Amino acid sequence: MAVKILSYAFSLTLVLTLLSLPVAAAEWIEIAPQGHYFQTESGRPFIVIGHNDAITWPNLDDLLITSNPVETDRYLAKLKANGINTLRIMLEYAQESYGLLENPLGEFAPRVVAFWDRFIKLAETYDIHLIITPWDPFWMERNWARNPYNRRNGGPMDSMKGFLTDPEAIAWQRRRLAFAIERWGGSPAILAWELMNEIELWWGATPQEISQWITETAAFVRTREMELYGRTHLLTASLATPFPSKALVDAVLNHPDLDFATTHQYVGPATNQPTNTVDAALDVELATLYARSQLTDKRPYLDTESGPIDRWINDPAFDTEYYHNMSWAHLASGGAGQGLRWPYRNPHVLTEGMYRVQAALARFVDAFDWKGFVPAPIARYATVEATPSPAQDSAPASASTLSIPDVRVFGVADKTRALLWLLNMTSRDAEQGRRTPASQPLGTATGRPALEGAFLIVDRKSWREQVWNGQFGQAKASQAYAAEAGPTATASETLTVQFWNTYTGEMIAETRVVTAADTWTIPLPAFDRDLAIVIKMVE
């Protein structure tokens, strides 16, 4: 089974173009010391902003087909300008034969190899990091008749079953991995090797067989990288299900040889075939909190694939708002960035509005202090309540007697700061297509009333006792927490509170609030769609 790459002639124009590019500034990515998030090797927080792409999709196929880097260069420059730092991409895209890395096995396609040679360099130049997965099982399954792993085409297998257990198939896998590591594995542009996409879905393997394959494959990758480079990239493997069983949690999410956990958030109708832009955020929160609750250590969690898989969205404005809400729900539930959208559009690219969502999110992310942040969920202890009516002469009315729009609180916090996101849910019955541009003034024909004169109420005491002292293990009893954290049950706290416009990524107000330490009461500015809040305790 000789492995070879066919000869490929590089054009002089391309060589000169690549030589003229500026020196790369990319850094290797690692896990932050406190866990839960990534950072660069120099210690700069790295919060994932990005999406899925493929070598045969419109933004990259020119580099693959014509070997011309101009359009790809322009594309990556655009990503960089919008704060995007990550693309998830497969080494091959098996929908069409020209997207295969090997065909037949052992002969590495010169066009695909040349694509990666150039693309890796461009990614380094623009500081775009790549989550790379070596196989494309979705199109492998649909095009099995012509896939090179098929025995009829010279491969080792009669079907995809046994791909993770068949010794000959595994030998071919090792050859592919070795080729990729030796050719591209020294690049800091690689954020991680995603050893397998949706590992439980395609191969007919048991959780025990999956775990064994990960153990052996991770060891192979790390050994080869250490031999060549003296260091290793992060490793992960994705699950298709957003709510994996305990067996799959143990086999994949908590596998000791993987560095971070990832599932795909195709949760249900609200995400897969949305009829409004807000309910998907609830699905994302549920899936993110579930995955994080299953982790037995501090590894980051990231949704690496999601979107309207069952019904693509024709209206760009609707799709942008749906995407915006999913992105913020993921971040505000403790995900290590935004979830990575699979485009599900025609053409198969993100919209300009989605790039603006990423740019605004990146501006917010850059301003937040991630150093040492431990994102314990706090949303269930927070509510938005209305101000008692000033027109009443008698005792103030309770919040339940006043008109309060349906506002959902998402959020995470530690002892010193909190990140919360408020989403107005009153548009859930709006028809698709009746969306308002992000630049629309407050309360103007949005279908959602402007919320004014409200308060954010956070039951900090219950959160400390039931969340922080439990799963996050910072203190084993309330007394220990009180001694460590300072404020007592009767103490007041001074908070610095920032309010952010999530569609522009701009801070709209900053104030100081003196409030009870055990129950935060924070007055809110007017907002209609949503509002992001950053809270810092003043020492």
Whether 270 and 304 share a structural domain: yes
* Most confidently predicted of 367-381, 450-464, 487-501: 367-381
Quick one: average pLDDT of 224-237? 99
CA atoms within 13 A on the CB side of 306: 35
Q: What is the CATH number of the domain that holds 349?
A: 3.20.20.80
Whether 261 and 334 share a structural domain: yes
Q: Please state the pTM of the whole predicted model.
A: 0.90
State whether residue 248 is helix, strand or coil. helix
State whether residue 481 is helix, strand or coil. helix
Whether 307 and 191 share a structural domain: yes
Q: What CA–CA distances, in Å, run from 482 to 88, 317, 513?
A: 43, 48, 21
Whether 394 and 348 share a structural domain: no
**Domain count of the fold of the chain:** 2
Q: Residue 486 — φ and ψ, nearest 5°? A: 105, -70
Long-range contacts of 463-470, Cβ-Cβ distance < 8 Å, separation of 24 or more: 463/376, 463/378, 463/381, 463/413, 467/376, 467/377, 467/378, 467/381, 468/376, 468/414, 468/415
State whether residue 166 is helix, strand or coil. coil
Whether 355 and 393 share a structural domain: no
Last residue of a domain, one of 319, 334, 367: 367
Confidence tier at 531 by pLDDT (50, 70, 90) = very high
The 10 Å Cβ neighbour count of residue 66 is: 11
| pLDDT tens-digit readout, 468-523 | 887 665 433 333 333 334 334 448 999 999 999 999 999 999 999 999 999 999 99
Last residue of a domain, one of 333, 348, 367: 367
Q: What's the domain range around 456?
A: 376-537
Confidence tier at 449 by pLDDT (50, 70, 90) = low
